[in-house]
Structure 1
């Protein structure tokens, strides 16, 4: 996931959208402010220090359904719902900022105090660990190869054999994967742009996170015209990130993930936002 250099964050709210401000508060639902943070104190339950009193500020990059996207004027999705659980435990509400994805890899907005954590369907890598602290893994991800049904392409290897133009989202592990396979992919700014590029015929195939494809193919018109021809098990796991050394917030995030998996909340949210739940892998069934 990425954005073009110099891109400013969008202003999103429940009823209006105004461009031009540097940081954007995005309306989310599911939490109410109470407890230690409700009085405006920057110290929430458990002694967790927040960048703003009464709220847990989350950086993300939109759109990235089913993990986070704007629906009916509110940012919703699997990631949002899980972080709502963290906010509830801290006695505050969640506020989301739409920011460039490259900042998640460098930890820029965490280090500058703009956000408490980042939630953006981000793969845990050793390189990224140098800049941020990751939560426990909360999602096992695979990459899908999606093609036009009329393309005749049957797999990633077939796409390579046919010298087909392939697309991927810039600065993502999907892009890195196809580059390692010898492709020179067309880079797109967002997951939506990747899929639109395929629809418009700019590329013959795309490699993108399977949950994104799964949600996209729920639309009958998309399913009639496009299909998954390969599922690439790249061993990826998603994690939420906090500023290096923010041990109390990291512990709160891990606690929420662990409890959600134990009490069935995780499964419920998974099935709501992603699809059939595989308890052994916590990933969608392959097509």
Structure 2
């Protein structure tokens, strides 16, 4: 829902972020570190030899750190694009709302963006999405033995949500009918840690990372999933010929990789099962 992400900045917040990053782009930031360079595909990259990809860590298993290296499902998909361009991927960890608002692209922080990002109409106003590459559902995670099995069981209790996500939107939408109080967290790790510590009685986010967390933390369990019809997309600069070219190349790679088995190999690596047909 993200993560899915499932995040959305307000118009005012997006404008503020755009101004901040625009100023940074005029200074000595990454956007001006090296001149733009075109590769053999006719696509101009911010930095010669690099595909700079913006995301917000951590959102396991889509993007997270193992030691000093950023790995994950989204990372591996972006590597397919980098390989086609004959460059290396460079991951840029940045606030999620700066990506979905388009500010990171305007400031030349990245060539593409990802983060288990749900495609929706509001985000389409600010960024160009690839074709959908992942179907997601929302999920409710609680402390094992809590007796909570659905949203109704949270009446009079606290539900953790992650800021700027569709999970937060879902929680706000359901709070009146189910009588819980949403508690907002900046990122997924702090949201889930609050479930185990008892600071909140449950948390809602995308099913992928929550199922992964429950597998590694037996003190937590996913008790309910909600079919929200969400799909993830990779992000590019909107209304920009170069961003359009990169999105078109990415769509071709997504289609080809599903046909030749590369997508399924990556899916099985991170989720332990074959990709849905």
Please classify the TM superposition score into its range, dividing by the shorter chain length: 0.7 to 0.9
Q: Shift in Å at residue 279 of structure 1?
A: 2.0
Deviation at 1:42, TM superposition (A): 0.9
CA drift of 1:233 comes to: 0.8
Tell me, yes or no, if the aligned pair for 1:46 and 1:248 is still in contact at 8 Å: no
Tell me the CA shift for residue 218 of structure 1. 2.3
Map of 1:30 onto structure 2 = none
Q: Against the structure 1 CA distance between its residues 22 and 98, is the aligned structure 2 distance closer, same or farther, given a 3 Å change threshold?
A: farther
Residue 144 in structure 1 maps to residue 139 in structure 2: yes
For 1:236 and 1:106, the matched residues in 2 are separated by 19
| Equivalent residue number for residue 47 of structure 2 | 52
Instruction: Measure, in 2, the Cα distance between the counterparts of 1:210 and 1:198.
Output: 15
Distance in 1 (CA, whole Å) between partners of 2:95 and 2:150 is 32
Partner of 1:89: 84
Q: Distance in 2 between the 1:87 and 1:186 partners?
A: 38
1:1-287 paired onto structure 2 within 5 Å: 42-159=37-154, 162-182=155-175, 183-219=180-216, 222-223=217-218, 225-244=219-238, 245=240, 246-280=243-277
Are the aligned partners of 1:144 and 1:208 in contact in 2 as well (CA < 8 Å)?
A: yes
Runs of 4+ in structure 1 deviating by more than 3 angstroms, as ranges, are 5-8, 21-24
Give secondary structure in 2 for the equivalent of 1:208.
strand
Q: Is contact 1:67–1:120 with CA below 8 Å preserved after alignment?
A: yes
Indicate how the Cα distance of structure 1 residues 208 and 140 shifts in structure 2: closer, same or farther if over 3 A, else same. Answer: same
Could you tell me whether the CA contact under 8 Å between 1:45 and 1:89 is conserved in 2? no
Q: TM-score of the superposition, structure 1-length normalised? A: 0.81
Deviation at 1:184, TM superposition (A): 3.5
SS class of match (2:169): helix
- Per-residue CA deviations over 1:56-79 (Å, capped at 9, x if unaligned) read 000010011101111121000000
Does structure 1 retain, via aligned residues, the 8 Å contact 2:36–2:46? no
Shift of residue 259, structure 1, vs aligned partner? 1.2
1:152 CA displacement: 1.1
Structure 1 stretches of 5 or more lacking a match? 9-20, 25-39, 281-287
Give 3-state SS (helix, strand or coil) of 1:232's partner.
Answer: strand
Alignment check: 8 A CA contact 2:128 2:235 kept: yes
Q: What is the aligned-residue RMSD (CA, Å)?
A: 2.5
- Contact preservation (8 Å) 1:165, 1:203: yes
SS in 1 for 2:198: coil
Residue 278 of structure 1 and its aligned partner are, at CA, apart by 4.4
CA-to-aligned-CA distance 1:215-241 (integer Å, 9 cap, x gap): 11222xx22x22111001111111011
**Contact 1:41 / 1:54 at 8 angstroms: preserved in 2?**
no
Equivalent residues of 2:46, 2:110 under 8 A apart: yes
Q: 1:23 to 1:173 in 2, by over 3 A?
A: farther
Bigger mean CA offset, 117-126 vs 268-277: 268-277
